[in-house]
Structure 1
């Protein structure tokens, strides 16, 4: 199978150390062709392609803008890996599998018991949209791992959810395009402590857990050397 491009929406930030180490992990363990940074390109980044976008909306609107820009670019591979700057691949892969989080109804129940807000509202609105499109019990693809995406399918999902202010893009794409996949638990580590799954090839962090937590120390120790995506001395 031909290697795919990696597409990474990046918010405006000073240094973004999570992105630095995510790139190190992808270079070491995730086969890919080119890296496309969509949005903000930190000064230390080298050897990547860049699609600048305006970031004047919410983070959900900004990432939707970034995803549409990548899908509409003729230079990005027709199928690509959609990743965020806080996703780490800890073990070598031959190719990225398709993974999901189980039914949206179960993920919704998990979040509803802990919090409310725009993310949960967007999950429910996306679920309702998918039910209207003939998927009565849709799967959630809102995992903190890279996702294989085809441009035409993602654009169709973005168009279907155009009226939603917080579209769950991964889920809309995965369900509307019937991509299936294997179920895993989410790998996001929210805390500083040592209790997190270490028997998975994937990890994800919050800025605090990366900078001050045990999971961040593990990731930095695993990938101590700069990748060829970094200008030396920056």
Structure 2
């Protein structure tokens, strides 16, 4: 199978150190053809493809617009690997399988215990949408690891959920396209705690846990070598 492109929505900002180190991890460990940054592009980024998008909405709307733009771009591979700018691949992989997070109902309980923000409302609205479409007990695909995406299936999911303010697009795509996959625990490290689990071969960070936490120190040490995607290769 030909190597896939990596597609990463990026907010507009001058510096994005999580993205710098994430790209180093992709370069070292995730075989791919090209990297597409959709939305913003840091000044240090080199030898990447770029699709500018308008970023006037919420972060959820902006990333949805970015994914749609990638799906509509004829030069982006089909399928492609959908990532965020804080996804780190720790070990060399031959390819990227599909992973899910288990039933949405279980993920909902986890977030309900932490509050009732826009993300949780979007989870519930996406769950209800999928139930109306004949999927009463859907799986969640809201993991912080790369997801292989077929353009046609994602575009269909985005269209079905276009009316939602916070569409859980990975979940809508995974369920409606019936991608299946293997269950895994999420790898997001939210805090500066000294412990983090690398057994899965993936990590993801928050801005604070990357800048100030033990996990960030680990990632900066693990991926100290600049990637081909950095201007100046410092």
TM-score category by the smaller chain?
A: over 0.9
Distance change (3 Å), C-alpha of 1:72 and 1:195 = same
Aligned to 2:40: 40
TM score, norm. by length of structure 1: 0.99
Structure 1 residue 134 and structure 2 residue 134: aligned? yes
Structure 2: distance between partners of 1:196 and 1:135:
34
Structure 1 residue 169 and structure 2 residue 169: aligned? yes
Distance change (3 Å), C-alpha of 1:60 and 1:44 = same
Structure 2: distance between partners of 1:162 and 1:232:
41
Aligned to 2:55: 55
TM score, norm. by length of structure 2: 0.99
1:148 deviation in Å? 0.2
Aligned to 2:228: 228
Greater mean deviation of Cα atoms: 180-189 or 191-200 = 191-200
Structure 1 residue 94 and structure 2 residue 94: aligned? yes
CA deviations on 1:170-223 (whole Å, 9 max, x unpaired) are 000000000000000000001112122121210000000000100001101001
Aligned to 2:158: 158
Aligned to 1:113: 113
Which segments of 5 or more consecutive residues in structure 2 lack a partner in the other structure? none
Structure 2: distance between partners of 1:194 and 1:201:
18
Structure 2: distance between partners of 1:101 and 1:116:
20
Structure 2: distance between partners of 1:184 and 1:13:
32
Aligned to 2:183: 183
1:55 deviation in Å? 0.2
SS of the residue aligned with 1:185? coil
> What is the total number of aligned residue pairs between the two structures?
234
Structure 1: distance between partners of 2:233 and 2:103:
46
User: Alpha carbon RMSD of aligned pairs, Å?
Assistant: 0.8
Structure 1: distance between partners of 2:86 and 2:143:
12
SS of the residue aligned with 2:139? coil
8 Å Cα contact 2:188/2:204 also seen in 1: yes
8 Å Cα contact 2:226/2:233 also seen in 1: no
CA deviations on 1:121-157 (whole Å, 9 max, x unpaired) are 0000000010111111000000000100000000000
Structure 1: distance between partners of 2:117 and 2:194:
29
1:13 deviation in Å? 1.7
Structure 2: distance between partners of 1:70 and 1:151:
8
Structure 1 residue 21 and structure 2 residue 3: aligned? no
Runs of 4+ with >2 A deviation: none
